Amino acid sequence: MQEVLPEGGVIRKLWIGETAKYREHLLRLDPQSRRNRFGGAVSDDFVRNYVDLTTALDAVVHGFFIAGAMHGAAELRPLGLQFPRQAEAAISVEGPWQSHGVGSALLRRTLLAARNRGFRLLHMACLAENQRMQQLARKFDAELSFDFESVVGEVEASRPTPLSLMRELMSDGHGFATAMLDLQSRMLRA
């Protein structure tokens, strides 16, 4: 799976202990992107509490990293025991890195993780005016049904296969290796 990302960028899962990076990324979103990400204007405190909650829940977070800093994120959150095969996904990319394929790469990883966890239905709630997210969801054949002031994209995730599990493992390995190389080169520079 060859992805063209902005120079120096890698996509990998967020590691335990990296919550602050996720928080900083979300706090850096410009007002319009933050509004689109959360479906309305929210305060810094809201964002901080949200990140604490995400890490407490069983969420899978993929990040887009450059030189160790997170500039994009995709979150996959199970809806809970009552809806065992359903999850919610949300994506955010900081302004300077938007429209460079980062959102597509993050969504691709999230769909793979969803498939491997047996989720059949992925909810993506976004504002009706958020054309870009809708375009992005359409690229992955999302079926969109319109709701009051919002669009809910429902992506049917296909079944896990040995190949899809291997692809996720390989993606994680690649992320880990590049993160280690990145850390090493920064330590050498210091």
Ligand X SMILES: CC(C)(COP(=O)(O)OP(=O)(O)OC[C@H]1O[C@@H](n2cnc3c(N)ncnc32)[C@H](O)[C@@H]1OP(=O)(O)O)[C@@H](O)C(=O)NCCC(=O)NCCS
Q: Which stretch binds ligand X (CB under 6 A): 17-25, 87-95, 113-121, 176-184?
A: 87-95
Q: Which stretch binds ligand X (CB under 6 A): 112-120, 135-143, 144-152, 179-187?
A: 135-143
Secondary structure of the chain as H, E, C letters = CCCCCCCCEEEEECCCCCHHHHHHHHHHCCHHHHHHHHCCCCCHHHHHHHHHHHHHCCCEEEEEEECCEEEEEEEEEECCCCCCCEEEEEEEECHHHCCCCHHHHHHHHHHHHHHHCCCCEEEEEEECCCHHHHHHHHHCCCEEEEECCEEEEEEECCCCCHHHHHHHHHHHHHHHHHHHHHHHHHHHHC
Sites for ligand X among residues 2-41 (CB under 6 A): 33, 36-37
Q: Which listed residue (60, 90, 122, 157) binds ligand X by CB under 6 A?
A: 90
Size of the site for ligand X (CB under 6 A): 23
Residue 110 near ligand X by CB under 6 A: no
Minimum CB separation of residue 162 from ligand X in Å reads: 28
Minimum CB separation of residue 138 from ligand X in Å reads: 7
131 vs 184, beta carbon nearer ligand X: 131
List interacting residues with ligand X (CB under 6 A). Answer: 33, 36-37, 90-93, 98-104, 124, 126, 130-133, 135-136, 139
